[in-house]
A and B are shown apart, each in its own frame.
Chain A
Amino acid sequence: EVQLVESGGGLLQPGGSLRLSCVGSGFTFSRYSINWVRQAPGKGLEWVSYISSSGSVVYYADSVKGRFTISRDNTENSVYLQVNSLRADDTAVYFCATSDGASGEIDKWGQGTLVTVAS
């Protein structure tokens, strides 16, 4: 069974940092691109970042560029999202999800991890 499990969320103060993790199982992780998509409470979906299967290509939404860094370790079947300089509007559930390349459909999703930024 294909499974993606996110972790690392929590309650942070503005300006803080944390690293989100996404671990995949049930499929050949190293063949798949991974996206991070977030959803603020009561709001819609917002794409955050993308990393190619090899890790050589990364993209970021304008709202997080320069503050967030995506990376992966295929030996650990893991993708990471380092989030720095957190702001209140970064409060959201963060989902990781596979896609068929950068432009393909986002087809398998994890259950998400909640990041709350508040003082």
Chain B
Amino acid sequence: SYVLSQPPSVSVAPGKTARITCGGNNIGSKNVQWYQQKPGQAPILVIYYDADRPSGIPERFSGSNSGNTATLTISRVEAGDEADYYCQVWDSTSDHQVFGGGTKLTVL
């Protein structure tokens, strides 16, 4: 089955740029989604199709995907961005949605 790997944690100072990676075999050939989840809340879609933002998501959130790594970039990080972030792809081989293990973003 397809596996997505994320770092367990990323820390960043307010105003700086956070980059959260998602590794997978030839992930560049897949569409990657990113979700933000705050404690006690349901996930929210922040990036879809590698780099598109749903309405209401700030431009500070961006995504890229190439080779074996997809990246979620959060510019000018704010305290309110502190959350868990999950990447996700569709694995057509197994007809399964697949989530990464999640990355806890800490704003210092």
Chain A positions within 8 Å of B, measured between CB atoms, are: 35, 37, 44-47, 50, 59, 61-62, 95, 97, 102-107, 109-112
Contacts and interface: CB of A to CB of B under 8 A. Distances in A.
Contacts of A44: 84, 86, 99-102
17 contacts: A44-B101, A45-B88, A46-B99, A47-B97, A61-B96, A102-B97, A103-B31, A103-B92, A105-B33, A105-B49, A106-B43, A106-B88, A106-B97, A107-B54, A109-B42, A111-B41, A111-B42
Nearest to A103: B90
Interface residues of B, number: 27
Interface of B: 1, 31, 33, 35, 37, 41-45, 48-49, 54, 84, 86, 88, 90, 92, 94-102
B46 to A, nearest CB: 10
A45 B43 contact: yes
The 10 closest A-B pairs by CB, nearest first: A103-B90, A105-B48, A47-B97, A109-B42, A44-B102, A45-B99, A105-B33, A59-B95, A107-B45, A44-B101
Given A45-B37, A102-B97, A109-B42, 9 more contacts: A37-B99, A44-B102, A45-B43, A45-B86, A45-B88, A45-B102, A102-B95, A105-B33, A109-B44
Contacts of B54: 107
Contact of B42 (A46, A62, A95): A95
Contacts of B100: 44
B33 A47 contact: no
- The A interface is mostly helix, strand or loop, or mixed, namely strand
Contacts of B99: 37, 44-47
A93 B45 CA distance: 18
A109 B38 CA distance: 13
A97 B84 CA distance: 18
A97 B99 CA distance: 14
Given A45-B99, A46-B99, A47-B99, A106 B33 contact: yes
A75 B50 CA distance: 35
A105 B45 CA distance: 8
Nearest to A46: B99
